[in-house]
């Protein structure tokens, strides 16, 4: 998280995003002998209607409080969507940062009871995608959903998770963008620093995605996974905030092929490992590398 630690988050974001916009996308001729991917600084400045020197000051962190009008112009040139534009507007130094209380993430007792009653894969995750609790169906879906695991760490460092995701490339990009969104300006949070540091050292794909500065939430949606026993499963995902943690549930369309396969998994879980359902009471927000 060197860009966050340096204090120049705005400049880092501007640089990363301009490298992702091609001259053709911006309506400019490609030209020859381009030494940088994407747009040059002076091209961004020209299109945004600001001086090249001022834009250089923004990227280098010498001006950290541009006007909303300048940021809106830059968002237009960099072709940011609504989520990315909101993120850019939040990177300026104009807003005082409220002090945060550092406290352990805690799974309420009622949520443990809910997990035990749900007949679909369900688990609780923290802000850094640490698995804090899970039910038997979640473990039947993936043993990497046991408490103490980290979903990002599994995604980038566990070959079985790579094979589990039908579209690993999309899943990886979505998770990294969601992590950036979750972190926001909480860049000194020890858990985030630890996780990003470990993945940056261990995974080139993570380093590449992290450098893009993509931001978007990872909320509801539909995903397809390849289970080693029952094969392909198409599942919907919902994320429900409960106090300071998130309850995540996966479920298929009713009477679909995936619904039938999930019922088979439930039967296998009941006959084979029904007692494993509630190791989910273990609270382990800081998994370590093996």
H runs (alpha helix) in the chain: 2-5, 9-18, 41-48, 52-59, 68-77, 82-89, 109-117, 136-141, 151-157, 159-164, 168-183, 190-202, 204-212, 257-272
Q: Is the dihedral of CA 155, 161, 163, 168 positive or negative?
A: negative
CB atoms within 10 A of CB 116: 14
pLDDT by 10s per residue, the chain, length 290: 555 545 788 999 999 999 999 988 988 887 667 777 799 999 999 999 999 999 999 999 888 889 999 999 999 999 999 999 999 998 885 455 555 556 788 999 999 999 999 999 999 999 999 999 999 999 999 999 999 999 999 999 999 999 999 999 999 999 999 999 988 877 888 899 999 999 999 999 999 999 999 998 888 899 999 999 999 999 999 999 998 899 999 999 999 999 999 999 988 877 764 334 334 333 333 333 33
pLDDT for 2: 53
Looking only at the bridges linking them, the beta strands covering 221-227 and 245-251 are: unpaired
pLDDT for 128: 93
pLDDT for 214: 94
pLDDT for 94: 47
pLDDT for 32: 65
Q: Is the dihedral of CA 154, 225, 125, 84 positive or negative?
A: positive
Q: Measured at the alpha carbon of residue 19, what is the angle toward residues 177 and 208, in degrees to the nearest 5?
A: 45
pLDDT for 81: 93
Adjacency order of strands within the sheet including 221-227: 131-134, 122-125, 245-251, 231-242, 221-227
pLDDT tens string 37-89: 799 999 999 999 999 999 999 999 888 889 999 999 999 999 999 999 999 99
């Amino acid at each position: 998280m060197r860009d966050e630690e340096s204090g120049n988050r705005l400049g880092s974001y501007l640089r990363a995003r301009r490298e992702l916009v091609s001259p053709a996308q911006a309506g400019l001729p490609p030209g020859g002998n381009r030494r940088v991917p994407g747009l040059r600084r002076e091209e961004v400045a020209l299109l945004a209607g600001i001086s090249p020197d001022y834009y250089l000051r923004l990227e280098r962190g010498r001006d950290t409080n541009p006007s909303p009008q300048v940021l809106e112009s830059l968002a237009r040139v960099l072709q940011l969507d609504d989520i990315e534009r909101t993120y850019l507007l939040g990177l300026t130094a104009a807003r005082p940062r409220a002090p945060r209380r550092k406290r352990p993430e805690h799974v309420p007792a009622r949520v443990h009871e809910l997990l035990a009653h749900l007949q679909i894969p369900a688990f609780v995750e923290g802000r850094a995608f640490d698995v804090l609790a899970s039910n038997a169906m979640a473990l039947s879906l993936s043993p990497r959903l046991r408490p103490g695991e980290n979903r990002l760490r599994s995604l980038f460092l566990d070959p079985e998770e790579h094979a589990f995701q039908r579209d690993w490339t999309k899943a990886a990009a979505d998770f990294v963008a969601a992590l950036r969104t979750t972190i926001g300006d909480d860049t000194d949070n020890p858990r985030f620093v630890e996780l990003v540091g470990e993945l940056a050292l261990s995974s080139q794909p993570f380093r590449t995605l992290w450098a893009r500065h993509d931001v978007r939430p990872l909320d509801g949606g539909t995903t397809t996974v390849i289970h080693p026993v029952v094969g392909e499963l198409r599942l919907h995902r919902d994320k429900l905030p409960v106090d300071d943690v998130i309850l995540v549930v996966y479920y298929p369309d009713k009477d679909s092929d995936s619904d039938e396969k999930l019922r088979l998994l439930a039967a296998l879980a009941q006959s084979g490992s029904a007692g494993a359902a509630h190791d989910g009471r273990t609270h382990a927000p800081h998994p370590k590398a093996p």
